[in-house]
Amino acid sequence: MDLSQVPLFRELGEADLKALRAEARPRALGKGELLFLEGEPVQALFVVRKGLIKVYKLDPEGRKQVVLHVEGPGRVLAEVALFLERPTYPASAEALEASEVLVIPKERFFQLVEARPPLARALIRYLARRQGQLLHLLDRLVFHEVRERLCEYLLEKLKEEGQGFRLPTNPELAALLGTVPEAVSRNLGELYRRGLIRLAGRQVEIPDPQALRGVIR
């Protein structure tokens, strides 16, 4: 996957993309391998090239994981942490399957942002969109039922990745939706029985997105 396909960089011209490509280094991750740990100094911006990366926090006892989000190809990790006053990772990241990320060192990325105004503008727009998504997530958690939140998540994944996208595990999906694994399993099963989704393992197809959207009030 090329950087031109990454939403953060999609609007950039070829010269800016070429400068980014020159700094990006691939890093392979095995299933279960850590990309970074909460509290470590921020070293780089990461772009998921293939696979799935889980971002999570541990409870105060260090036993229970709370999954914050799961990112697939084209998604960016640590973009906000780069700009913190004391830049340390606010959460941990782990590969859910064999994956590959592109690593852009922090200082080199800062130099590119300062030297290339189109990149700076693209970054500001991207962070603004992310803030909007977080506000939308808060609204969903407070006001929407589990099935509606699940349908919105599925439709968003379809928009980002196309038909046949991969789902995280039910416990991870439950953490993302603010519910319990049993509720995720029950609602996925109901959507499947109604023909609103097709399931093959953890891969999902949505034959009629408009019909699935009709579930959302």
Q: Is the pTM of the predicted complex or chain greater than 0.75?
A: no
Closest of 5, 3, 53 to residue 24, by C-alpha: 3
What are the extents of the domains in the chain?
3-116, 144-213
Closest of 68, 82, 78, 130 to residue 102, by C-alpha: 78
Q: Is residue 160 within 8 Å of residue 53, measured between CB atoms?
A: no
pLDDT at 143: 46
- CATH fold of 3-116 reads Jelly Rolls (2.60.120)
pLDDT at 62: 65
CA distance 205 to 207: 6
Length reported for the chain = 217
* φ/ψ of residue 181, rounded to 5: -55, -35
Per-residue pLDDT of the chain (217 residues; tens, 9 = 90+): 789 989 889 889 999 999 999 999 999 999 999 999 999 999 999 999 999 899 988 877 666 677 788 888 988 998 888 887 778 898 999 998 999 999 999 999 999 999 999 998 988 888 877 776 666 666 565 545 888 888 988 998 898 888 999 888 888 888 778 788 888 898 899 899 999 999 988 899 999 999 988 888 6
144 class by beta-carbon count within 10 Å (0-12 exposed, 13-18 middle, 19+ buried):
middle
Closest of 133, 159, 141 to residue 79, by C-alpha: 133
Q: Is residue 16 within 8 Å of residue 119, measured between CB atoms?
A: yes
Closest of 98, 143, 172 to residue 185, by C-alpha: 172
> One-letter amino acid identity for 206?
I
pLDDT at 72: 87
Tokens, residue 65: 């994981």
CA distance 157 to 73: 11
Closest of 212, 56, 102 to residue 148, by C-alpha: 212
pLDDT at 135: 63
CA distance 148 to 111: 43
Does the domain at residues 144-213 carry the CATH identifier 2.130.10.10? no
